[in-house]
A and B are shown apart, each in its own frame.
Chain A
């Protein structure tokens, strides 16, 4: 069986660093950050952990319907989605994820665009 990117990059010990770095960048970003203004820290971290894990083939997966429901109450524009995409790519690159794998992860992310954007 082919190794998932989650395992290829060292499993949770490495992915956890990606998650926390992404968490910092999200909160610092003035376009994406406000979505998390009223959200409890534990929930944001939980969300980011599952988000990155599922994109990298780790122990989390969501159906399209789940993703749609989770974001239904938010007004997410293309700009927000693009911004998060950029933050995600930069974070992955800074943690040594090679461009080819970045593309694979970003493609998985892009595939969900229509589920969450207006």
Chain B
């Protein structure tokens, strides 16, 4: 076998489609088996380019006349498979006759892979968006449970260092006759009412800087001066407490169920920390919480009881009158003060 014969055999058998075209007429001179396998039996001498849809013959002629090279792609169906073939035309000479050599590479797999990557990246992007949305929801939930600075610490280090806050003011509220209310009304009604009231309390607390820490049944605890210390924590707590009662008074005027609360406010130290491992919760506990809780028992319906530490920090916006004493858990006696908004200040508002 001659070298030329071997070359021709090779050319016929390789996986690349090869065709030779007359440069002037662009009619087929030769094509190999692979080419025929893709584009079917094309007679020598026929116009090859008519086979391809939307083929820009003018652009091909111009490119071959110019730099001598033209590249394009064609897509067609072979049985039910979508084939994409990259076509590379090069100007050449065949025994002094100008011809175009067309080399075709099957790039269907690349196109399929591109489609698959598109599909996969869209799935991943959608999942990423969902994860982001879920993360935001979790963050929102956690921010309802703890102050942002505590949340940031938890997010960064996975733990929260218990911290002593001293002094802060704690407001403890509960409702008179709550047990009876629960047994005489539909559970859904009580929950909906409490939801209303606590939402309003949260809003008032936010306005005055007295954030809710806990709400369990009818017990609502808010703290002013935490996590960032403030000088006016006592005023903040007293202002919030007075607004809580005003809100209830107004509400009672237009609602069938009457809510009457009692309030205890105490200034002092608390510890703030995330408690629990699996079911964790941000909690605040310590002397000021215990004192506020006890003081509320001493309060008449719709009044506020406070300890001396609160009263000493209140300005002239408030009046404080002695109202007996309580025995704290450590056995010491603590004077109780009834706190109210100063009438003049109230009228000015």
State whether the Cβ of A102 lies closer than 8 Å to any Cβ in chain B. no
State whether the Cβ of A97 lies closer than 8 Å to any Cβ in chain B. no
What's the minimum C-beta distance from B105 to chain A, rounded to whole angstroms? Answer: 17
Complex interface residues of chain B between 103 and 138 (CB less than 8 A to chain A): 109, 111-113, 115-116, 118-120, 123-124, 126-127
What's the minimum C-beta distance from A50 to chain B, rounded to whole angstroms? Answer: 7
What's the minimum C-beta distance from B3 to chain A, rounded to whole angstroms? Answer: 38
The reply to whether B80 and A45 form a contact with Cβ atoms under 8 Å apart is no
Interface centre among A27, A33, A37, A42 (most CB of B within 10 A): A42
Q: Which residues of B contact A40 (CB under 8 A)?
A: 82
State whether the Cβ of B79 lies closer than 8 Å to any Cβ in chain A. yes
The reply to whether B119 and A20 form a contact with Cβ atoms under 8 Å apart is no
CA distance A50 to B81 in the complex (A): 19
Set B81, B115, B123: member contacting A42, Cβ < 8 A: B115
The reply to whether B81 and A20 form a contact with Cβ atoms under 8 Å apart is no
The reply to whether A59 and B123 form a contact with Cβ atoms under 8 Å apart is yes
The reply to whether A50 and B116 form a contact with Cβ atoms under 8 Å apart is no
The reply to whether A45 and B81 form a contact with Cβ atoms under 8 Å apart is no
State whether the Cβ of A81 lies closer than 8 Å to any Cβ in chain B. no
Q: Which residues of B contact A49 (CB under 8 A)?
A: 116, 119-120, 123
Given A27-B79, A37-B80, A59-B127, A16 contacting B113 (CB threshold 8 A): yes
CA distance A59 to B122 in the complex (A): 10
Q: Which residues of B contact A45 (CB under 8 A)?
A: 112, 115-116, 119
Q: Which residues of A contact B81 (CB under 8 A)?
A: 27, 41
The reply to whether A20 and B79 form a contact with Cβ atoms under 8 Å apart is no
Q: Which residues of A contact B127 (CB under 8 A)?
A: 59
Instruction: Please tell me the number of chain B residues within 8 Å of chain A, measured between CB atoms.
Output: 17
CA distance A102 to B204 in the complex (A): 60
Which residue of chain B lies nearest to A53 when distances are taken between CB atoms in the complex? B123
Given A45-B119, A49-B116, A49-B119, A59 contacting B124 (CB threshold 8 A): yes
Which residue of chain A lies nearest to B82 when distances are taken between CB atoms in the complex? A41
The reply to whether B112 and A23 form a contact with Cβ atoms under 8 Å apart is yes
CA distance A50 to B115 in the complex (A): 12
Set B79, B82, B123: member contacting A50, Cβ < 8 A: B123
The reply to whether B124 and A41 form a contact with Cβ atoms under 8 Å apart is no
Q: What sequence of 0s and 1s flags, for each residue 1-43 of chain A, a beta carbon within 8 Å of any chain B beta carbon? A: 0000000000010001001100100010000011011001110
What's the minimum C-beta distance from B87 to chain A, rounded to whole angstroms? Answer: 18
State whether the Cβ of A118 lies closer than 8 Å to any Cβ in chain B. no
CA distance A34 to B80 in the complex (A): 8
Enumerate the 3 nearest inter-chain pairs by beta-carbon distance, A residue then B residue, closest first. Answer: A41-B82, A46-B119, A45-B115
A23-B112, A59-B120 given; 20 more Cβ-contact pairs under 8 Å = A16-B113, A16-B116, A16-B120, A20-B112, A20-B113, A27-B80, A27-B81, A34-B80, A36-B80, A37-B80, A41-B115, A42-B115, A45-B112, A46-B118, A46-B119, A48-B116, A50-B119, A53-B120, A53-B123, A59-B126
What are 22 A-B contacts with C-beta separation under 8 Å? A12-B120, A16-B113, A20-B113, A23-B112, A27-B81, A33-B80, A36-B80, A37-B80, A41-B111, A41-B112, A41-B115, A46-B115, A46-B116, A46-B118, A48-B116, A49-B116, A49-B119, A49-B123, A50-B123, A59-B124, A59-B127, A60-B123
B positions within 8 Å CB-CB of A: 79-82, 109, 111-113, 115-116, 118-120, 123-124, 126-127
A positions within 8 Å CB-CB of B: 12, 16, 19-20, 23, 27, 33-34, 36-37, 40-42, 45-46, 48-50, 53, 58-60
